[in-house]
Amino acid sequence: MREVAVIGVGMTRFGKFLERSLKDLSKEATEAALSHAGVDKSAIQAAFVGNSAAGLITGQEAIRGQTVLMNMGIQHIPIINVENACASASTAFHLGWMMIASGMYDIVLALGMEKMHHEDKSRTFQALASGFDVDVVKWVMSMMTKEAGKETEEKGEQGKSRSIFMDAYAMRARGHVQKYGTTKEQFAKVSAKNHYNGSLNPYAQYQTPYTLEEVLNSRLIVEPLTLYMCSPIGDGAAAAILCSKELAYKYTTKPVFVAASVLGSGGLSPDPVFSYTTEMTSGKAYEMAGIGPEDIDVLEVHDAAAPGELIAYEELGLCPHGEGGRLIDEGQTKITGKIPVNTSGGLESKGHPIGATGLAQLAEIVWQLRGEADKRQVKEGKALVGMTHNAGGVMGNDEAAIAIHILRR
């Protein structure tokens, strides 16, 4: 297989944009990536478009990518629409990588886009619940309302759907606390770090540097998660231009290469705290790249809630199981630390328009490796290797999708 380079990335600011369409958001992100790459849109040979919720939010259930690309004059190329819940954009990137690695195409667009906000909030709740098996969600809801001694009310069901992902994260967090003595303060330190990083990122949805105390004192969502430990609902888009190694140097003196691209899906995990799929896919990614966790200079991980990041330290092998709390206490994952994590602000601060998140993570790593991360720049621009960890949905008791990417200069 051929070596594949990322030659340009771009994204919109993430946020609440009721007035902006998917077409509008996607155009901005794609044009930014094309401009970063110095590539004209006519050079793109195929496009992979990740999105998870448009069918429910905008009504564009089918041909989502076609409608946004036609709008910006990109036509007559193969367009493939890809879905993998919160890992949709990384999955699009994975396919784009494969198409170039195999020799099928020389230059492709990977685009991730999402609108989660809608005036009718029940649509957003439905989209979030859909990251689980909806038959299971319905059954759980019916059991819960039965227990509470009342019939399911539409309103109650929606309210519950909103936090169902946070319930899942909270359960894993409580398991970690019980097993390793991890504290709520340690989770909160993750959030304070990420909100500080987000305050340096012009693309972040929230740019307020909350202190540890502010995180701990924000509204309780579900023990041990407070509001500032949870990723918000968001709208946005992110894109990348990938091409063959040979072609890359025609466009840039700073290509970033894909050292590993691995996708996995869950099922029954033997441990309720750790994701078997994350450990398996990251193991394969290290093997594909021929490196270990000690070689990673900078990381974006899937902190849909703060404990997700702390546990990911352990799943990805940055430290042994149970030592994530120590890593955050020692400040090792700060921008100035030994192994900076979520310099972008992560999902908690940068935001989490689910179908765009994976490519926003990849964009941050590309900027870091090219020395273009401005106030968030790690290691004086000398970082060589970066990694992304993007998770989506629930399958069995594990992630429905895990995408691990390792990029290198």
Binding site for a second copy (CB under 8 A): 1, 21, 23, 46, 52-53, 55-56, 58-64, 66-67, 69-70, 75-85, 91, 95, 98-99, 101-104, 126-127, 130-135, 263-268, 276-277, 280, 392-396, 400-401
From CA 26, how far away is CA 236, in angstroms rounded?
A: 8
Catalytic residue, chosen from 36, 118, 352, 389, is 352
Which is closer to a second copy, CB of 284 or CB of 321? 284
At residue 137's C-alpha, the angle toward residues 266 and 116, to 5°, is 85
Angle between helices 22-37 and 64-71 (to 10 degrees): 70
Cα Rg of the chain (Å, integer): 20
Which is closer to a second copy, CB of 341 or CB of 400? 400
Which is closer to a second copy, CB of 79 or CB of 188? 79
Length of the chain: 409
At residue 76's C-alpha, the angle toward residues 73 and 78, to 5°, is 110
DSSP 7-51: EEEEEPPPB--TT--HHHHHHHHHHHHHHHHT--GGG--EEEEE-
352 as an active site residue: the answer is yes
Which is closer to a second copy, CB of 18 or CB of 268? 268
Catalytic residue, chosen from 86, 94, 176, 302, is 86
- Answer whether 97's CB lies under 8 Å from 403's CB: no
CA-CA-CA-CA dihedral for 29, 197, 334, 184, to nearest 10: -110
Which is closer to a second copy, CB of 75 or CB of 178? 75
- CA-based nearest residue to 66, from 47, 53, 85, 52: 47
Which is closer to a second copy, CB of 116 or CB of 407? 116
- CA-based nearest residue to 352, from 168, 61, 344, 137: 344
In this structure, are strands 298-300 and 225-226 parallel, antiparallel, or unpaired? unpaired
Measured from the CB of residue 131, what is the shortest distance to a second copy in angstroms?
A: 5
Which is closer to a second copy, CB of 12 or CB of 278? 278
Q: Is 353 exposed, middle or buried (0-12, 13-18, 19+ CB in 10 A)?
A: buried
From CA 324, how far away is CA 303, in angstroms rounded?
A: 14
Measured from the CB of residue 261, what is the shortest distance to a second copy in angstroms?
A: 9
Which is closer to a second copy, CB of 322 or CB of 396? 396
Q: What is the 3-state secondary structure (H, E, C) of 268-335?
A: CCCCCCCCHHHHHHHHHHHHHHCCCHHHCCEEECCCCEHHHHHHHHHHCCCCCCCCHHHHHHCCCCCC
Question: Which tokens go with 275?
Answer: 């994701």
Residue 254 vs residues 4, 90, 186, 257, 372: alpha-carbon distances, Å: 13, 22, 37, 10, 11
From CA 269, how far away is CA 25, in angstroms rounded?
A: 37
86 as an active site residue: the answer is yes
Active site residue ranges: 86, 352
